[in-house]
Amino acid sequence: MNVHIPGDTLSRATAIIESMKSLEGPLLPILHEMQSEFGYVPQEVLPVIAKALNLSRAEVHGVMTFYHDFREHPAGRHVLKLCRAEACQSMGGDEIASRAKQLLGIDWHQTTLDGDVTLEPVYCLGLCACAPAAMLDGELRGRVDDEAVAELVAEARL
């Protein structure tokens, strides 16, 4: 299966792979760097990574899909992460998640049609004592209630 990879994407991806393939256990660092470079891990570069590291495509795909932080598509301008761990769920996290989905009109791992906001579940933000927790563009928020989730969504829509 030959997949066309735009030249710029291929050259940038190849540079990342070449700079990191000599590391011990290079796959995760390469995937992290791809996401940092592109904002997601382009699916068309997975076979290139596999070939360079002498791995099967299935191995690379398996690692990519196992870790929830890797994106297969570009994220929105803002990323809203809601904690789904037990402490947050016990403090109303399910209701907060439902409210966020309703306000944004999307589900987990989706981006609003205007490209503004991507909604992602995370499994612990480390704010268990301040549950439920959220993170908007890397900024942690604790004790998120119905009003706070509406404020987070409004802030992401600016």
Model confidence band, residue 4 (pLDDT cutoffs 50, 70, 90): low
Longest dimension (CA), the chain: 51
What per-residue confidence (pLDDT) applies to 2? 46
Task: Calculate mean pLDDT across residues 70-83.
Answer: 93
Tell me the percentage of the chain whose pLDDT exceeds 90.
86
CA 125 to each of CA 36, 73, 97, 128, 139: distance values in angstroms, whole numbers, following the listed order? 20, 23, 15, 8, 11
Instruction: Return mean pLDDT, the chain.
Output: 93
Task: Calculate mean pLDDT across residues 47-57.
Answer: 97
User: Is pLDDT at 3 greater than 60 in this prediction?
Assistant: no
User: Is pLDDT at 89 greater than 90 in this prediction?
Assistant: yes
Report whether CATH 3.40.30.10 matches the domain 78-157. yes
Task: Calculate mean pLDDT across residues 60-85.
Answer: 92
Q: What interhelical angle do 27-38 and 57-66 show, nearest 10?
A: 70
What per-residue confidence (pLDDT) applies to 8? 87
User: What are the residue ranges of CATH 3.40.30.10 in the chain?
Assistant: 78-157
Cβ proximity of 63 and 50 under 8 Å: no
User: Is pLDDT at 6 greater than 80 in this prediction?
Assistant: no
What per-residue confidence (pLDDT) applies to 68? 79
Alpha-helical runs (H) found in 39-135 = 46-53, 57-66, 86-90, 93-104
The predicted-structure confidence for 105-144, as pLDDT tens digits, reads as follows 999 999 999 999 999 999 999 999 999 999 999 999 999 9
Q: Could you tell me the end-to-end alpha-carbon distance of the chain, in angstroms, rounded to an integer? A: 42
